Amino acid sequence: MLLLLINASVSLWPADMKTEEVVAKHLDALGSAQARSGVKSRVVQGMATYGILAGGSGAIDGKSVVASEGRKTNYLFKINTNGYRGEQFICDGDKVSIAATYSDKSRSEFGDFILGQDIMLRQPLLGGVWTTGWLLLDLEGHKAQLHYEGSKKVDGRDLIVLRFRPKRSTDLNVLLYFDPQNYQHDMTTYRVTQQTGLAPAS
């Protein structure tokens, strides 16, 4: 009987949670309200990896810098490859700028994707807790909605899932994942389904 009760409590806990609880526990994991409000700017430096997923294989390491002040963000990823120099995304809170990164002054496929789905920078979502404008720090100010989706197993781990719905309609499907043990932000996935526009073959 004891084993059955334990199993029941483990399987039922996700359904009992609310979005507000997850967000509150996540913010507590970042620090006290006073500590969070005291951070006005932040610079995060680290490594970046350029990997070839189609048409070849291999990976090249580079550097990354994410600087933020309020809702202003500057993402810089430097990679030394033939013809490709990395990425730079800048957002002043409303307007977005994507740098040309190929040697012919054109944007990369990744840059074009971010420009077409700039909600990731304007909210902001990209970079998560690295930025001072992290979406969950001011949900009301961003007029964004989060919906609790339960738990999902990712790479063998059970993570809490919240679905993000921006104030403006978009075809971007955004899921935020959190560790159920400490409520830290684990990752965010972005998915867009696009039609090719090709007529069916006869």
In terms of C-beta distances under 8 Å and separation of at least 24 residues, what long-range contacts does 110-113 make, across chains too?
111/87, 113/192
- 177 within some domain: yes
Tens digit of each residue's pLDDT (9 = 90 or more) over 119-133 = 899 888 999 999 999
Count of structural domains within the chain: 1
Please indicate, yes or no, if residue 23 is contained in any of the structural domains: yes
pLDDT tens digit string along 47-66?
Answer: 988 887 777 778 889 999 99
Question: Based on the number of CB atoms within 10 Å of its own CB, is 174 exposed (0-12), middle (13-18) or buried (19 or more)?
Answer: buried
Tokens of 47: 């490594």
The range of the structural domain enclosing residue 73 comes to: 17-191
Q: What is the pLDDT of residue 30?
A: 94
* Adjacent-strand bridge partners of 145: 165
Count Cβ neighbours within 10 Å for each residue of 140-159 and write b for 16 or more, e otherwise. Answer: eebebebebeebeeeeeeeb
How confident is the model at residue 99, as a pLDDT?
Answer: 92
Q: How many helices (H) and strands (E) does the chain have?
A: 6, 9
Please list the rounded mean pLDDT of every run of 10 residues in the chain (202 residues).
Answer: 35 62 95 92 92 79 94 92 88 92 88 90 90 91 88 93 82 92 94 63 40
Strands of the 157-165 sheet, one edge to the other: 145-154, 157-165, 173-178, 185-191
In a domain, 154, yes or no: yes
Instruction: Specify if 174 maps to a domain.
Output: yes
Residue 199 lies in a domain: no
18: left (phi over 0), alpha (psi -120 to 50) or beta: beta
Neighbours of 111 (CB within 10 A): 19
**Which pLDDT score is estimated for 8?**
36
Give domain status of residue 8, yes or no.
Answer: no
12 inside domain = no
Which CATH number is 140's domain given? 2.50.20
What is the DSSP code (8-state) at residue 58? -
- The pTM assigned to this predicted structure is 0.80
Residue 202 lies in a domain: no
